[in-house]
Amino acid sequence: MEAAATGADTAADEGHGPAERPERGARPGERLLRNGPAARRLHAALYLVTLALLASGVALLGEGIRPLESVFGGHVASARAHRALGSALIAAAVLLALTRPRAVRWFLAESARFRRRELSWFAAYPTFVLRPSRNAPAPHEGHFDPGQRVFNLVVVVALLALSATGVLMSFPRAFVPAVFAWSLRIHRAATWALLAAVAGHVLVASGVLRAYRGVWRAMHAGGRVPRGLAERLWPRWAERAARAEDRDAGSPPPGSPRSRARG
């Protein structure tokens, strides 16, 4: 969910990749700021609420899963918690859209933009994951890599479907039974889709796969990632970020004689 949170900070991921050796032009130990404090806070809140929402939702599947239900205090308490968490997530999404419309538009535009030449990224991806020391991901133009964009879209569509069907199922007497039945089917399918996406995201962030080691720093430990790693995963973004940081490093601090002279 790093990707889903990044837009709120950038418009004002996380990412993937090996940290084994720096790329050409990267200085050892140098790090680039991938996500600022606002994006990291949003990411933390989003994944905590989403994980609790998924847990309470899975607990209610079928006749109920008692071990999970017991975490929330029983079946009825699980249902209440699920509705409350869902309502909180919907309210937060509406609030974010109202207070940060440019960030939301940027995030959606970046996530939905796929270029034809970027199809090679998907073709090269398996070899990169299996042998990251010998294979690099194919280049791409976006802030997010194509895999992150797919993840973003799956999460957005799944959450929209869950929100819409959840609202419909909250008023069973207002609709014919067929509406409730179809809403329940869609709600379950969206739950499993979101669960699969989150599981993949956690796998990437955990660093279990060699190709992804170090990626957790994009949303933790200050939000900075090694420059060499960034240049492999998000080459265009890394180029812009390095240029911006080099420019800022060369600027005199506010109030200094050089700063006053420039003014």
In this structure, are residues 207 and 215 in contact, taking their beta carbons and an 8 Å threshold?
yes
pLDDT of residue 149: 95
pLDDT of residue 104: 94
pLDDT of residue 7: 54
Domains belonging to the chain, first-starting first, are: 2-14+31-248 (1.20.950.20)
Each residue's pLDDT tens digit, 148-174: 999 999 999 999 999 999 999 988 888
Higher pLDDT, 192 or 245: 192
Distance CA 119, CA 115 (A): 7
In this structure, are residues 24 and 227 in contact, taking their beta carbons and an 8 Å threshold?
no
Bridge partner residues of 224 (DSSP): 33
Distance CA 48, CA 63 (A): 25
pLDDT of residue 258: 52
Burial of 111 (0-12, 13-18, 19+ CB in 10 A): buried
pLDDT of residue 171: 87
pLDDT of residue 86: 92
pLDDT of residue 211: 80
Residue 225 CA to its chain's centroid (Å): 16
pLDDT of residue 189: 94
Q: What is the mean pLDDT of the chain?
A: 82
pLDDT of residue 13: 37
212 CB-side CA count, 13 A: 19
pLDDT of residue 193: 95
Amino acid symbol at 62 = G
